[in-house]
Amino acid sequence: MTFTWKIGGEAGFGIMTTGLVFSKIASRLGYKIFDFIEYPSLIRGGHNAYEVRISDEDVKAPAPFIDCLVCLNLDTLKKHQKRLQTSSLVIYDEEDFQAEGNFQKISVPYNKIIKKNQGPTVMKNTIALGASLALLGGDFEILEKIIEEQFKNKGEKIIDFNKKFAFDGYQHIIKNYPNQIKPILKKIKKEDQLVLSGNDAFSLASVIADCRMYVAYPMTPASSVLATLASWQEKTGMIVRHAEDEISVINTAIGSSFAGARSAVGTSGGGFALMVEAIALAGITETPLVIFLSQRPGPATGMPTWTEQGDLLFAINAGHGEFPKIVLAPGDAEEMIELTAKAYNLADIYQTPVIIMSDMHLSESHFSVSLDFINKFIANYSVDRGKTIKLEDLKNSNLPKKFYNLNQNSQFQNFLRYQITEDGISLRLLPGEEGYYYQANSYEHLENGHTTEEGDQRREQVNKRNRKIITYLKNHFQIPKVYGDLAKAEIIFVSWGSTKGAVIEAQKILAKSSKSTAFIHFNHLYPLAKEKINHLFLTNKKYVLVENNSWGQLGKLLMQEIGIEIKEKILKYDGRQITPEEIINSL
C-alpha cells in the first residue's frame, strides 16, 4: 500500500505544521512516511505545499500521483492538478472556488466552520486536517491527542478551541461523504518509530556523539539545526552560539575544539564560503571540527528554499593550501545519524575538518526511523577521541619516549604537538594541563609548534599531514554501497547523497517491468581510495550518473580521482529534487 496526501495554501497558513502532524499521525499508526515541503523564501504570501507519502513498507521518495489533495486556496489545485487521477480526492471549500476537473470533489465548508466557531482564517488547516483524517478512515482520538500535546503549554482553553475546528472538519466528512471514505489510516502498528528530517537526524546524532559546542549563523536550509540544538541546550548541556557571522562561527568552534570540546558548525553554501579560510586553519593547526553543509541552489543567494547538489567540488576543494579533509554525504535520515556520529570520531581521530553534506531536500524532508535502530545505534556507538590525551596518560609507557622539548631553564616543557609519526597523527594534549604548553600554529611549524620557514621541516610537516589521508583510506574509508547485482544489471546507476531515495525507487519500478538494475551510492566522497573502488566499474556495462546539479560533479570527481568517465548523465538543476519517474523517463 502507498498513499500520497498533499496540502497547499498561502504562506503563513500553517501548512508546515499541519503537514508534519499528518506525518506523525501516519507514523504513530505504524506506517512508514516520507514527506517533503515546497515553499518560497517568503514569510507571507506565495505558495506553500507539504506532501506526505505513506506506505506499509520503506519509502524514501515521492510517488507520481497525489491521492488526496487538500486545497486551502485555488492556487493549490492549479499547481498540482496535473498529478491527480480520477480516483484522487480533492478537499476544498466550494465557497472559495468551484473545482473543475476529473477527480473526486470533497467540499468542506472551512469558511462556515470558522464563522461558526469565531476563529481566525488560519484555522482552515486544522479543519482540513480533521476532514483528511475522516476521509482516510482514521480515528479522531489520534488527532485529539496530538492537539493536546501540541498546545499543552497553552492551557485547556486553547486545546479545546483547536479541537472544535478539527472535529467539525471530521464530522462534516462522516455526515456528508460516508461513501468516499477510504480505509487508509487503519492502525497497523509494528514498532515505535520517529519522524526525523535530515536536520533532526544531524542534531540528534550530534548529541549522541557528545558534541558540546554548536556554533552557527542562520541560513536556510541549515537553520533548523541551530534552533533544535538551542532548544535542547539546557537539557543536553551543549553550548549553542549564534555568532555575528560565519567567520566568527567557525573560528569560535576552532577555539572550543582546541580547548577540548567536540565542536561543530552548520551552514549553507554562502556561509560555507565565508568559512573557507578557517577550514584551512583547522587543517594546519590539526584541530578537529565537524562542518554541516546543507546545500541550496547557488551561485550567491541563488534559490534559498530549494534544493541542489551543487557544492560537492567546492566542499572537497574548500581551503587554501593542501591538507587532509574528509567529506561525507548521507543519503537518508539513518545514514545521517550514522555518518554524523562517525564524523565526530573521524574529526578527533584525524585531527582535521570533516564535512557532512546535506541539501534542502534531505535537510527538510522527513523520514521514518525505527526507535529500535536508534537505540541500538546509541548502544553500539563509542566516542573515539583518537590521540587526544590527558596529563595522566603521559605516564603511559606506550607513548613515544620523547614528547616534549626539554627547556633547561624552566619547569614548563614545550609539548610536541606536531610530532612526526608514521600514521601522520600526533598526540594532542588539551590546553590547561600543568607542566606543559604548546601553540597551535597557522604558520608552518616545527614539531613543537613554533613557526618555521625551513624547507626540510616544511616538507616533513606536509608529508605528516598527508599521511593522515593514507591512514584514513586504510582504516575508515568505506566503499560505496551497491544496491542490486552489478554482474546481472543491464543499467548501473551512480549517484551520491540525497538522490539515493529516488534511484532506489526507480530501481523498484524498473524491476516490475523486468529491467534489472544496480546502483552504486557514494556517501564517503572524499578522499577516495582508487584501488578499493575500481572493481565496481566494469567495462562492458551501461553506467548512468544521477545528480541534482548541471555539471555532474560526482562524475568529474570520479574522473579526477579514479580515471573513470561516466558518459550517460541524468542531471536535474531546477531547484527540485529528481523523482523516480524522471530517472526512468530519461533512460
Instruction: Compute the distance between CA of residue 364 and CA of residue 13 in angstroms, rounded to an integer.
Output: 18
Give the shortest CB-231-to-other proteins separation in angstroms.
9
Choice between 65 and 232, CB closer to other proteins: 232
Cis geometry, peptide bond prior to residue 580 (ω within 30 degrees of 0)? no
Q: How far is the CB of 58 from other proteins (least distance, A)?
A: 18
Closest approach of Cβ 154 to other proteins, in Å?
17
Phi, psi at 508, each rounded to 5°: -60, -45
β-pairing, 388-389 vs 47-55, is unpaired
Residue 201 or 494 with smaller CB distance to other proteins: 201
Q: Rounded to the nearest whole angstrom, what is the least distance from the CB of residue 159 to other proteins in the complex?
A: 18
Identity of the residue, 234 or 392, whose beta carbon is nearer to other proteins in the bound complex? 234
Q: Give me the DSSP letters along 10-78.
A: ETTSSHHHHHHHHHHHHHHTT-EEEEEEE--S-SSSSEEEEEEEEESS---S--SSEEEEEESSHHHHH
Number of Cβ within 10 Å of residue 218's Cβ equals 15
DSSP notation for 344-395: HHHHHHHTSEEEEEEEHHHHHSEEEEEHHHHHHHHHH-----TTEE-GGGGG
Beta carbons within 10 angstroms of residue 314's beta carbon: 16
Distance of CA 262 to the CA centre of its chain: 20
Q: In the complex, what is the shortest distance from the CB of residue 254 to other proteins, in angstroms, rounded to a whole number? A: 6
Helix axes 246-258, 269-285, angle to 10 degrees: 30
Tell me the closest approach of the beta carbon of residue 41 to other proteins, in angstroms.
24
CA angle 465, 474, 496 (to 5 degrees): 95
Cβ distance to other proteins smaller for residue 17 or 117: 17
Q: CB-wise, 245 or 322, nearer to other proteins?
A: 245
Instruction: Determine contact, residues 165/338, Cβ cutoff 8 Å.
Output: no
| C-alpha cell belonging to residue 383 | 566516542
Q: How far is the CB of 44 from other proteins (least distance, A)?
A: 27
CB of 138 to other proteins, least distance (A): 17
Q: How far is the CB of 340 from other proteins (least distance, A)?
A: 14
Residue 478 makes CB contacts below 8 A (sequence gap 6+) with 523, 524
For residue 353, say if its preceding peptide bond is cis, omega within 30 degrees of 0: no
Q: Which is nearer to other proteins, 27 or 461 (CB)?
A: 27
Identity of the residue, 75 or 277, whose beta carbon is nearer to other proteins in the bound complex: 277
Place of cell 558540546: 212
* Of 301 and 407, CB closest to other proteins: 407
For other proteins, the closer CB: 247 or 562 = 247
Residue that is written with C-alpha cell 543536553 in the block: 236
Query: Which of 219/491 has CB closer to other proteins?
Result: 219
Q: Which CB sits closer to other proteins, 46 or 255?
A: 255
Minimum CB separation of residue 383 from other proteins in Å reads 8
DSSP secondary structure letter of residue 451: B
* Distance in angstroms (rounded) separating the CA atoms of residues 21 and 27: 10
Task: Find the shortest distance in angstroms from Cβ 426 to other proteins.
Answer: 16
Structure-block grid coordinates of residue 95: 465557497
Residue 205: closest CA among 330, 326, 327, 312: 330
CB 7 within 8 A of CB 38: no
- CA 441 to chain CA centroid, Å, is 33
Q: Between residues 320 and 541, which has the closer beta carbon with respect to other proteins?
A: 320
